[in-house]
Structure 1
Amino acid sequence: MDRWLLISNCNTYGLARSLQLQGNSFHLDCIDVWHFKKNMQDYENEIPTYDRVIINPEVRLTSYDFRSLKNVNEIPNVEFDAYHPDFCFVGVDGVRLYKPLAACHSMIVLAAFQAGRSPEKTRKLFRREIYEQCGFFTRWELARDRLISSFSVMGMDLSNAFRRWARGECFMHGLGHPKARPIFDIARIFLKNHVAQTNVTDLVPSDTIVDGACLPVYPEIGETIGVRGSYAFKLPGEYKLISLERFIEMSFEVYQAYNPSEILVEPGFRSRFDRVKQVISEAEA
């Protein structure tokens, strides 16, 4: 029996279980990228002994040279922001801020903080008019096409699967955190490309990502794209929901430890954040 190794990100264990459920022709070991980075020397000699190594693209950023391996495949990140267009990643001195909601921060909240608004006035900015001016209602097609394209270059066609995911409910917990069904379907598509026979089953493994932070789809955005919306934020590491008001307060508590100009949005979000900042600076609240 072939031996496979999976090295991925937050989706590692959900993806590994989905692969195992749907394939009988291999034994699969898995490690997440953070454990791999800390213990790379322990795996350095063992990795070449696997018949297939499956990695997330960010694993290539480690010092291990995967180019020397004969049978390496990539399964990309599931990145889709149309449900959560207000969110971004930020840092200070190149280090991400992981509070209050893991790595996810509201552009509106950060822009309001940097503009000197109070939490109370910031809350009033969460309304349809602001979302429309910020471009939050126009993300769907762009996010869909980018997601499908990122898998297409790896030989994986998500078109039909995406149509199923998009019917009736949000299929993402956050910007790069899919729910269990998309992970399961991606495993199925991968296996159909690489093994002769797969198991036909609808037993979807438990959703491991829900243990972390989960972002709400704002009601106005949900109404536009046909899913249920709310302003209930799930905290990481505990099964507890907080309100939008509390999320704003907690975000301000984090930001107040820094000079506002020190808090920088990561490059991939900066052009959109600049638009949000302009909208917030001109908005009445």
Structure 2
Amino acid sequence: MALRLSRLLAAVPRSWTGRRGSDEIGLNGPRIAVIGNCQAKGVAEAVRILAPGARVRLIPMSTLGRGGQRLDAFAATLKACDHVFSQPFPAGFFPEGGSDALRERLPRMRLFPSIVFTAFHPDAVYVGDLTSVARVKLVPSPLGTYHSAITLFGFLKGLPPERIVGLFREAVFSQLGYLDAWDLAAADLIASSRAIGFDLSDDLLRWSRGGQFMHNINHPRLTVLGDIAARLLREAGIAPRPVAVEAYAPDALLDDAIWPVYPPVATLYGVAGSTVFKRRQRRGAAPETIGLDAFVAESFAIYQAQPRETLTCHRIEHWAASPEIRTLFETA
């Protein structure tokens, strides 16, 4: 029993067991845990700014269930929190279930959505096995795991790189639906947010009025994460500071891959456009950018080294079944 208790206490932040960590000296506000994917770090940082004195613990989704931890044990470590904010996570991290099962054990836990919005970057896709979210097997790309659907489909159709580069033009984008992507992207985001009781319809309208609010399909800018943090605090009964988080904290997701808004898409939405991609970078390192020609060439080198059966993607399967799109690539 004593051993079990010591393990439990070891999993709780020091300041939550009566001892104070060096980064929490002087903090006596609510204890808040933030659970989620790469977006959760920005939410946690925003909570620290918006709720002075809050003792915030970030729990990356990738660490859930590590070392064979069970859901009951994880829930027990969170009982010391005054508030738990979590993005939905599926069964697979814990044998007992996902975020719904955790919420049953922590009724006060509040869910917040994972932001995915593809309208600014309709060409960006994942490639590989997505059947198990906890153990995703993705094909690498020049930008980590983000691929160009046009580049991949052109490769699979046997087109040379120079012909694929020539496909990045307005007429092709129009035929592929890239210039009509907003309504579907908005509907998907709003539906997923309403499904967990965190309707983003008003927020999306406000974000869109401010211009481009995504770095890529699933990395929102810090202003978005600040808005989510402020709303979580208000719904938890904590009045957030009336400040813009992005004015006080760096946007950590800028260190990750940045997908450009292609010029025809950018013109449509009134934002800056380019075909310059930015790689994921180490903290403190200078950003490294590559142009479209280099991106296509590097993608080809990766695809040629991959078993062809691993180059799977729902978008590509849809295009392969469309005579119009096949003809577009064959004659362009």
Compute the TM-score of the two structures, normalised by the length of structure 2: 0.77
What's 2:81 paired with? 50
Aligned residue runs from structure 1 range 106-255, under 5 A: 106-167=148-209, 169-204=211-246, 205-237=249-281, 239-255=287-303
Q: Distance in 1 between matches of 2:326 and 2:289?
A: 27
Paired residue secondary structure (1:152):
helix
**Deviation (angstroms), 1:186:** 1.2
Aligned residue runs from structure 1 range 78-117, under 5 A: 78-91=115-128, 95-117=137-159
**Deviation (angstroms), 1:97:** 1.2
**Deviation (angstroms), 1:180:** 0.7
- Whether the 8 Å CA contact 1:3–1:52 is kept in 2: the answer is yes
Q: Distance in 2 between matches of 1:101 and 1:154?
A: 31
Structure 1 gaps of 5+ residues are none
Greater shift in the superposed pair: 30-39 or 76-85:
30-39
What's 2:58 paired with? 30
Q: Could you say if the C-alpha distance between residues 168 and 51 of structure 1 is closer, same or farther in structure 2, counting changes exceeding 3 Å?
A: closer
- Whether the 8 Å CA contact 2:83–2:236 is kept in 1: the answer is no
What's 1:8 paired with? 36
Q: Could you say if the C-alpha distance between residues 276 and 208 of structure 1 is closer, same or farther in structure 2, counting changes exceeding 3 Å?
A: farther
**Deviation (angstroms), 1:279:** 1.9
The one-letter code sitting in structure 2 at the alignment partner of 1:223 is T
Q: Percent identity?
A: 28
Structure 2 gaps of 5+ residues are 1-28, 132-136
Q: Distance in 2 between matches of 1:85 and 1:171?
A: 14
Cα RMSD for the two superposed structures: 2.5
What's 2:18 paired with? none
Residues 1:73 and 2:110 are matched in the alignment: yes
Paired residue secondary structure (2:215):
coil
- Whether the 8 Å CA contact 2:226–2:244 is kept in 1: the answer is no
**Deviation (angstroms), 1:155:** 3.4
The one-letter code sitting in structure 2 at the alignment partner of 1:253 is A
**Deviation (angstroms), 1:71:** 2.0
Greater shift in the superposed pair: 41-50 or 99-108:
41-50
Q: Could you say if the C-alpha distance between residues 162 and 282 of structure 1 is closer, same or farther in structure 2, counting changes exceeding 3 Å?
A: closer
- Whether the 8 Å CA contact 2:48–2:56 is kept in 1: the answer is yes
**Deviation (angstroms), 1:221:** 0.8
**Deviation (angstroms), 1:27:** 2.3
1:122-170 deviations in Å (ceiling 9; x for gaps): 1111111111111111110121122123223433343333223213531
- Whether the 8 Å CA contact 1:111–1:280 is kept in 2: the answer is no
The one-letter code sitting in structure 1 at the alignment partner of 2:225 is I
**Deviation (angstroms), 1:261:** 4.1
1:254-274 deviations in Å (ceiling 9; x for gaps): 100124343101x4x456544
Q: Could you say if the C-alpha distance between residues 39 and 185 of structure 1 is closer, same or farther in structure 2, counting changes exceeding 3 Å?
A: farther
* Higher Rg of the two aligned structures: 2
Paired residue secondary structure (1:122):
helix
Q: Distance in 1 between matches of 2:191 and 2:184?
A: 11
Q: Could you say if the C-alpha distance between residues 178 and 29 of structure 1 is closer, same or farther in structure 2, counting changes exceeding 3 Å?
A: same
The one-letter code sitting in structure 2 at the alignment partner of 1:87 is A
The answer to which structure, 1 or 2, has the higher relative contact order (CA under 8 A, 6+ apart) is 1
Q: Distance in 2 between matches of 1:195 and 1:277?
A: 55
Q: Distance in 1 between matches of 2:322 and 2:230?
A: 39
**Deviation (angstroms), 1:185:** 0.8
Paired residue secondary structure (2:216):
coil
The one-letter code sitting in structure 1 at the alignment partner of 2:311 is I
Q: Distance in 1 between matches of 2:323 and 2:306?
A: 18
Compute the TM-score of the two structures, normalised by the length of structure 1: 0.89
How many pairs were matched up?
283
